Structure formats: C-alpha cells, structure tokens
C-alpha cells in the first residue's frame, strides 16, 4: 500500500492504480486461501490507496468520502492479536486530512 500512497501523493495516479491492482490480486489470493482476516486488511488498504488516487485526480469530495468509508471499515475490524495495527490506519489519514 505504501507504494500506491506514495505514487498518488506525488501526483502519479496511474502508478498508484497499478499497485492497487496488485493489492486486489493479493486480496483475491487470500480469499482463495480462506484467510478472511488478512483479505479484509488488504481490502481496507486498497480502499485507502484508491481514495488517495481520487484525491490526486482532483476529486477531493469523492476522496474524502472514500477515505471515510475506509476508516469506518478499519474501525469495524478486529485487530490481529500479534499486530498492533495496519501500517497507515485509514482513520488517522481521514482525520488528519479532514481538518
């Protein structure tokens, strides 16, 4: 997700979209392996990255809605017992940029 965020935030949404597609493929593999927890985490990361792509494309209102949706999904998920949280929590991202 970090590569997608970096690409989107540096004004390269097309590169971000390629990395988001990789996240989608990873999510699909996790689903196929019946790994519900991690497939959900990867999906949330994809949602956050997609929101940043919208922002990079100048669709700020849509981006904030997408970031809010990703933050809500993250807030609703259980945290893995050995993982303190995802690398860039969506809730933190949306709260930081909504101000």
Three-state SS at 83:
coil
Distance, in Å, from the CA atom of 62 to the CA atom of 46, rounded to the nearest integer, reads: 15
Q: What percent of the chain has pLDDT over 90?
A: 47
> What is the predicted pLDDT for the residue at 99?
47
Distance, in Å, from the CA atom of 19 to the CA atom of 37, rounded to the nearest integer, reads: 21
Residue pair 64/94 in contact (Cβ under 8 Å)? The answer is yes
45 contacts: CB under 8 Å, gap ≥ 6 = 1, 23, 86, 88
User: What are 43-88's pLDDT values in tens digits?
Assistant: 999 999 999 999 999 999 999 999 999 888 888 887 765 565 555 5
pTM for this prediction: 0.78
To which residue do tokens 């904030």 refer?
64
Q: What is the mean pLDDT of the chain?
A: 83
Question: How much is the average pLDDT of 13-20?
Answer: 90
């Amino acid at each position: 997700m970090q590569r997608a965020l970096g690409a989107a935030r540096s004004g390269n949404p097309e590169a971000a979209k390629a990395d988001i597609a990789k996240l989608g493929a990873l999510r699909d593999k996790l689903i196929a392996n019946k790994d519900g927890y991690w497939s959900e985490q990867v999906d949330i990361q994809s949602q956050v990255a997609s929101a940043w792509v919208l922002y990079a494309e100048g669709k700020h209102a849509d981006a904030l809605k997408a970031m809010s949706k990703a933050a809500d999904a993250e807030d609703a998920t259980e945290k893995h017992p050995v993982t303190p949280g995802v690398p860039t929590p969506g809730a933190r991202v949306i709260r930081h940029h909504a101000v």
